[in-house]
Chain A
């Protein structure tokens, strides 16, 4: 059974940093692209980016809205996906999801950027 479990969310001040983690299980982690998506309360999801699989060199793609501030990485020995978020703004407040393709999403973790 595919499982994705995000962690690391919470309250952070504007300008601060936060790293989200996603523990993956139930599939061969290195075979799959992994995604981060966020969703502000009451709004549509926003795709943040992905990191490719082993066959495609684990390269990354980002939404221009977060490129340069957010970094996606993976630890293939631990089956972990990460989202490093820097210079956070109030508009980054959202529920953050990791996903394996479109089909499998985690339950999400909330990030609140506020002073």
Chain B
């Protein structure tokens, strides 16, 4: 099956710094990637949708200047948490839709962000 690699799996940073999370489709081209956030014992909440070569579409309530998303190629999308604060601590998961594969999304393994 299709593989989505997400790195890092865990990151600890100081408050005020920026953190970049990468989501790569390893064996397929991903025209669309999705970023989710999951708080402990809660569900996945869609943050934004990124399409290759265009600006990301953010869900209501998600600050686009804080969560910068770049989808510069068909195999890579990045999420940068800028000026991170403790309340940004969460589990972030990406998923990808392959070209011609409309009915499936493939998930990365997630990134646990802890902001001190």
Q: Do A and B bind each other?
A: no
Chain B positions near chain A (C-beta within 8 angstroms): none
